[in-house]
Amino acid sequence: MHRLSKRSVKSLVRSSTAARYRDVAAPISSTHFFYQSADADSKGRWYSVLTSGRCDVIESAKPFKSRNEPFLGCRFESTAAASDTSDSPSEKFEYQAEVSRLMDLIVNSLYSNKEVFLRELISNASDALDKLRFLGVTEPELLKDAVDLDIRIQTDKDNGIITITDSGIGMTRQELVDCLGTIAQSGTAKFLKALKDSKDAGADSNLIGQFGVGFYSAFLVSERVEVSTKSPKSDKQYVWVGEANSSTYTIREETDPAKQLPRGTRLTLYLKRDDKGYAHPERVEKLVKNYSQFVSFPIYTWQEKGFTKEVEVDEDPSEAKKEGEDETAEKKKKTKKVVEKYWDWELTNETQPIWLRSPKEVSKEDYNEFYKKTFNEYLEPLASSHFTTEGEVEFRSVLFVPSVSGMGKDDMINPKTKNIRLYVKRVFISDDFDGELFPRYLSFIKGVVDSNDLPLNVSREILQESRIVRIMRKRLVRKAFEMIQGIALSENRDDYEKFWENFGKHLKLGCIEDRENHKRIAPLLRFFSSQSENEMISLDEYVENMKPDQNDIYYIASDSVTSARNTPFLEKLLEKDLEVLFLVDPIDEVAVQNLKAFKEKNFVDISKEDLDLGDKNEDKEKEIKQEFGQTCDWIKKRLGDKVASVQISSRLSSSPCVLVSGKFGWSANMERLMKAQTVGDTSNLDFMRSRRVFEINPEHPIIRTLTEACRSTPDDEEALRAIDLLYDAALVSSGFTPENPAQLGGKIYEMMNFALAGKWGTVPEYQQQAIQQPHIPETVEAEIVEPGEAGGQK
């Protein structure tokens, strides 16, 4: 005899009181299942007929009468209390745990999504079938009943009832107490341990359950759960009944012949009021296809179907009179098409996943069809990879490179793209990952991953961080790069151009975030260049075209190819026929700076100071510095803090000057990008801007003229104003933004007026004086002439 706690007594009183009201039930509808066999050698087939009021027998099937015949009997589905009408005595037990707290955790905290209850229950049913199949090898008498190994799910949406039936191993009375009465004790884990301890058997990798709480996920949506089970090792069938808000459960023997099972388990879920939507056949079918589509046993769902047939239609007498048909003419009977509806079992899952098949047996069309169906795509993928990894971590995977970007070219911020579907033993776990399996920059890769030994949490929803996950991630990333490299080396160059157009920015982001894979990312990058303005080239092609004495990879960052082509920084390099990469995307410059080098060739920004083109002549440089050193100091004194220094340039040939960035400062392109993101904070900009270096071309006439002015009249106002205008012009031509565009415009207009004066007409003397001294106007005396003296006559 069991001693009950106060809580159990209260629950018993509540259940007894509720039972008095539940006993008064309205007439109920029923669902009948019949077993039919053509001969003794054929396997049994199951049929279900929805009737109301009583159980009818159709001609082609008869109800079971012996204990070994029936698999499913007459099952009432109207109310939660309808099936609790057995006359056999019930024994009451208490859970062997702190149930009130533990059940609350399972129902309210363990699972984040209610719909996983069906996944867990189907996984348990699959385990029961696997156990039977495994034990049947050594104990053939367990399979003496000719019943298919399958799972069948039927719903009653009117009453909110779901029935899940499997023809697996079933449970004895003691196993019911051990597995369902002790929360968190896994029958599957116990079975696997027994297999490992045995001498002649190993663990069956197809078994799914491992935590022992999957069954209780039924209480996420159910207020009451009934488990009717029959083990082939026992002559009796037992019924386990539990409620969501109760700390007790009951076990009784099934005495109703109509409900007898040959073997296996039938779960009946009486759904809560708010969750009765799960009892719709369409929703059940959707959940099975999403979570359990690749379970190794067939899953049948009870679905409404229909077929079209033609029926005769009575002719309207009024229409017959209007037509005035000839009595001798043969009358044609009118018909119409109607849809005849009926209910039948429908196979819902595919028992053979594509990734479990050998790659040699799968055609390209099969991969494309799987890709389109799984990820709801309409275009074929650019590439696919089907592989199996063994060793420390064992898993199978099929990966795809999409043809187009599904989330937009500029949206790389959110890594949760639901592109990788994770399966554990063919059961769908999740597609919501935050970089555990793939880094953010490869989030466009789509595919499935199936493993048998992943570290999941108890609810099998969260992938825990571990060494196994890190190894798996590394191998998946490597396979992804092999696919992309295959596209790049393909004979069809358009394929990679299409890939680069959609996912090029993702790889550039990888240069910033994944230093470990720089050697894999760098060969996949593409850029325009000074020798290829219309077609992008790879870094390998750039290195092949380098001059024998060229040691660096030169690049210039700008907002467009046109702007980069016309920059003054290119002048000397174009003369030497040195190729320069054009970085025209905002992310390009940061990506290249993170790469630092490619095949031992350093990346060099030609807009930075100390540019070495490999043609330095120290004697000539020393001579030039002595000649123009005074000029550089004079210009630096005039510009003040606007520049860090004034130097002789080795990169100019036709421009008089250029404004370059400091070695560790921002380039003009980077300054423009950072200025757009500072949100009003210009403190960093002021520091980086002070590192600009003003370089002059000693061969240019303007610089030579200013050198003469420096030597003769260094304080001449016109010469100093020319320096200011020269700096502003260099600021614009070098890609920087002038601080005062209006002031720069005024200087240009003034110089234009001065240059154009007297070119296309005679300029009055007072205008010339106004141009030369605009701030000190001079008074001109004029002789007054009388009007009468204008013609020389009075």
State the amino acid at position 680 in one-letter form. G
Distance CA 731, CA 739 (A): 10
Q: Which of 441, 473, 489 finishes a domain?
A: 489
Structure tokens at 589: 């410059």
Residue 15 within a domain: no
Same domain, 373 and 291: no
User: Annotated binding residue at 166?
Assistant: yes
Q: What size, in residues, is the chain?
A: 794
Which residue do the tokens 């980086």 mark? 688
> Is the domain of 118 the same as that of 171?
yes
Residue 8 inside a domain? The answer is no
Nearest-5° Cα angle at 689, 686 to 691: 120
CATH code, 458: 3.30.230.80
The answer to the question of whether 265 is labelled as a binding residue is yes
Distance CA 247, CA 432 (A): 35
Q: Known binder of ligand: residue 256?
A: no
Q: What is the pLDDT of residue 325?
A: 52
Give CA–CA dist 152/302, Å, rounded.
8
Domain assignment of residue 428, given as a range: 354-489
Residue with tokens 């565009």, as numbered in its chain: 741
Are 734 and 624 in the same domain?
yes
Long-range Cβ contacts of 608-612 (<8 Å, 24+ apart): 608/660, 608/661, 608/662, 608/663, 608/665, 608/667, 609/647, 609/660, 609/661, 609/662, 609/663, 609/693, 609/695, 610/663, 611/650, 611/651, 611/660, 612/552
Total domains, the chain: 4
Residue 16 forms part of a structural domain: no
186 labelled ligand-binding: yes
User: Residue 386: CB partners within 8 Å, gap ≥ 6?
Assistant: 354, 355, 359, 362, 367, 397, 398
State whether 107 and 235 are in the same domain: yes
Task: Yes or no: say if 689 and 675 are a contact pair by the CB < 8 Å rule.
Answer: no
In this structure, the answer to whether residues 587 and 628 fall within a common structural domain is: no
645-648/693-696 β-pairing: parallel
Does 145 map to a domain?
Answer: yes
- What SS3 string covers 481-539? HHHHHHHHCCCCHHHHHHHHHHHHHHHHHHHHHCHHHHHHHHHHCEEEECCEEEEEEEH
Q: Is 460 annotated as a binding residue?
A: yes
Q: Can you give the CATH number for the domain in which 708 is found?
A: 1.20.120.790
Find out whether 212 is annotated in a ligand binding site. Answer: yes
The radius of gyration of the chain from alpha carbons, rounded to an integer in Å, stands at: 43
Shared domain check, 708 and 597: no
Last residue of a domain, one of 605, 637, 658: 605
The alpha helices in 570-645, defined as continuous H runs, are 571-575, 588-595, 618-639
Residue 287 maps to a domain: yes
| CB of 60 closer than 8 Å to CB of 359 | no
Residue 591 belongs to some domain of the structure: yes
- CATH code, domain carrying 279: 3.30.565.10
Both 241 and 126 in one domain: the answer is yes
Q: List all residues 6 or more positions away from 643 whose beta carbon is below 8 Å from its beta carbon.
A: 636, 659, 692, 693, 694, 727
- Domain containing residue 566: CATH number: 3.40.50.11260
| CA distance linking residue 198 with residue 183, whole number of Å | 26
Q: Say what the pLDDT of residue 192 is.
A: 54
pLDDT for position 759: 66
Q: Confirm or deny that 215 is annotated as ligand binding.
A: yes
Q: Rounded to 10 degrees, what is the CA torsion of 399, 404, 407, 413?
A: 70
Classified as helix, coil or strand, 286 is helix
Q: Are residues 194 and 264 in the same domain?
A: yes
Q: Mean pLDDT for each 10-residue chunk of the chain (794 residues)?
A: 45 43 39 42 44 39 39 39 56 65 67 84 89 84 80 93 92 86 59 54 50 76 93 90 85 89 92 92 92 88 84 66 51 74 86 85 92 90 92 89 72 66 83 80 91 65 68 91 93 90 92 92 95 93 91 92 92 91 93 92 91 80 89 92 89 91 84 72 63 90 92 89 91 87 85 75 52 45 45 42
Last residue of a domain, one of 489, 517, 543: 489
To the question of whether residue 86 is assigned a binding role by annotation, the answer is no
Q: Flag whether 136 is marked binding.
A: no
Give me 80's structure tokens: 């939660």
What's the CA gap between 371 and 262, in Å, rounded?
41
DSSP 3-state of 369: helix
Report the alpha-carbon distance of residue 736 to residue 758 in Å, rounded: 34
Q: Are residues 132 and 280 in the same domain?
A: yes
Do residues 601 and 622 both lie within one domain? no
Q: Which helix (H) or strand (E) holds 349?
A: none
Residue 219 shares a structural domain with residue 281 = yes
Q: Is 214 annotated as a binding residue?
A: yes
Same structural domain for residues 631 and 594? Answer: no
Residue recorded with tokens 């009486």: 270
Does a structural domain hold residue 719? yes
* 282 occurs within a structural domain: yes
